[in-house]
Structure 1
Amino acid sequence: MSSADEDDDDFGHKPFYKRPGAMALAAVVQVAVLAVFVRALAPEFTAKATNAVLATFSVTVATPPSSPEPAKQPKPAGGSGDVGKKAVPRAVKAEKPKIAIAQTPAPRASSSGSADSSGARDTGSGTGAGGSGTGTGSGTGGSGQGGGAVTKAVHVSGQINNARDFPVPEGGREARIGKAVILALTVTPDGRASGCRVYKSSGLPETDQITCRLAKDRLRFKPATNAAGAPVTSTFYWQQKFFF
């Protein structure tokens, strides 16, 4: 039997220590079993060992600097055209008007005269604006007392306040209470009422007529006067209110 044949076993297989692949696999399995056993018994030790191994490796990543953008170059301006010629307006000659316009001279100012009172006409020799007059007013005086009264007539005495002077109207005296009559009395220069008319009725004609008669008989007045102070005839309005 040769030496090669001696290395094989009885079944023709090589011994385990002569197969390197099998030996490596066995070593890995043993290490894994040992690691599991150590991790189970001392987990903190495994974590510290792992961190220690990772701490030995430091990786630095450097970011390349960004290149600056190139500055934009302004676009060259286009060429301009030639300067244009200046426009010169054509001379236009104004035509003469066919119809001649008459020039009216301006009027002379009224203040250019040498007289004391300037104006369009000469002043007269009088002392007034249009000549002096010989009268003392706008007209000659007459012999009358004047055109009308200047002061009004004034009631000075007499009253109408007696219920017995009036008859009882239909419906009783209450039908007359609160009513009033206005009379227009003609007052003469002697201060009496010579005439009477009903200016506004009380609604009771008989009462109105009695009031007129009593006014002429009882009422006395200071007559109205004109501008010269003379007494004149005038109209006096009398209102009689009834409380009875």
Structure 2
Amino acid sequence: MAREGSYSTIRQKPRPLTITAIILLHILAMYGLAKAFAPEMTGSVERSVVSAFTVNITAPEEEVPPPPEVEPEPDEGAQGDPGREAVAKPVAAPEPKVVIKPSKPMPKATSTGTADTSGAADQGSGTGAAGTGLGTGGGQGGDGAGNARPPVAVTKPQHISGGIDNVRDYPIPEGGRQARRGNKVTVKVTVGVDGRASNCSIFRASPDPEADRLTCQLVVDRLRFKPASDSNGNPIAAPFYWQQRWF
């Protein structure tokens, strides 16, 4: 038993866990030094340790199903003997029945002769179905009067001579000549084959009826024309329009 006033000299024993921890720390320190200075040696040791604990697990083999059964192709057999060539049987068409009707006698044609009446007699001196003559007819030309259409003008009449003076040929209207300035009149005449105008009429009148009437008279009396012509170049009568403007 220790005395009072002195320290205890009894030592406690180290525990097993503490000893184990110290040993592991020393091992880890040595392993770290070896890995730092000799990495190849530590790598081989690690591989050997890992291989010692490696367990190979083999998977069970899968059952492979048997291949499907293939049915054998049926035997087509050998080719048979060819048959006989088909030949069409000739068939005769029936003869058509043709019915011939008796022909009717043709009517008698007109002819010349000594008969006094016209008709279809074999001979006679009557009128025929056609012929020529100098009488009236429906043709376009002939020696007699007929219903021929009038010839069509191919060219128009052309003014070749004569003229009208806007100042001297017209009297002074009321209000002076300025009242007529800017107006115009159009007259229609017929130019004959002799080149003279006739049958004058007012086609478009002006505000001055007296000047329009005088224009018609001057056109007929003074103006001369080259007549129109047909397709054969013959002169024919044709209409002509004359416009008189007062400036």
Per the normalisation by structure 2, the TM-score is 0.49
Q: Which structure: greater helix fraction?
A: 1
Relative contact order, higher structure (CA 8 A, sep 6+):
1
Per the normalisation by structure 1, the TM-score is 0.49
